[in-house]
Structure formats: C-alpha cells, structure tokens
Amino acid sequence: MASLIRGRSPDEIRKLFNIKYDFTPEQEEEIRMEMQWLRYVEQELAKKKGKKVDAGDKEEHDPVDQLYVVPEHLKVKKRNSEESSTQWTTGIAEVQLPIEGN
C-alpha cells in the first residue's frame, strides 16, 4: 500500500483512492516536503551516476507514454502556403466544353 502512495501528491492520492479531504493541511505540507526531498535525492543520485538531470520540476511521465511519441522522421512536414495553393490543380485536366451548352 505504501508503494502506491510514495512519491504522489495529496491530490493524486485522493484521485487514486477516490477520497475527499482526508488530509489535514499539516499532513499535506508534510507530503509535499517529502516529495520535494525525494526529487532532490533522485536528482543527486542521477548526478553521481552521470545521468542528465532536468533543473525544472517536470512531472514524471509514464513509460507507456513513450510508445505514443511519433519519431521525427515519421512526422508530417508542414508545407508553405504557396506550395499548397497551387498543388490542388496538379491532377485536373482541362476539357473543352461545347459552345452549345449556353
């Protein structure tokens, strides 16, 4: 049970267990301080191991989210407006209509 709540904010814990207003303000502050401490310790360990450390407080991402990231070489490139405005006429052939149609 402790592993489920370790490193989570009070709001995340409430959402996870569908709980409303169960923490006192003091408990919430204690949890926030613990989260900051854990983040600091993880950053320091990463520095010692020589890994890249982000300075900002970014949210941790689920490893599954990486499966949905489109690689750069597969992304559709945006075209400029001049190129796209003339391209739609490329496949249209001109056909002579009879004058009798009027």
Q: Note whether residue 82 is domain-resident.
A: yes
- Range(s) of the domain holding residue 18: 2-88
Domain assignment of residue 72, yes or no: yes
Which helix H or strand E contains 35, and what residues bound it?
A: helix 25-49
Residue 93 within a domain: no
Query: Residue 10, exposed/middle/buried by CB under 10 A (0-12, 13-18, 19+)?
Result: buried
- Tens digit of pLDDT at every position of the chain (102 positions): 677 777 888 778 878 887 776 678 888 888 889 989 998 999 899 888 887 766 554 555 677 888 888 888 888 877 666 666 666 667 777 888 888 855
State whether residue 48 is helix, strand or coil.
Answer: helix
CB atoms within 10 A of CB 68: 6
Total domain count, the chain:
1
Looking at residue 61, what DSSP letter applies? P
Residue 99 falls inside a structural domain: no
What pLDDT does residue 63 have?
A: 79
> CA neighbours within 13 Å on the CB side: how many for 92?
6
Cut 0.85: pTM above it: no
Give the pLDDT of residue 57. Answer: 46
Q: Tell me which residue has tokens 């204690």.
A: 30
What is the pLDDT at residue 85? 66
Contact in structure between 19 and 13 (CB atoms under 8 Å): yes
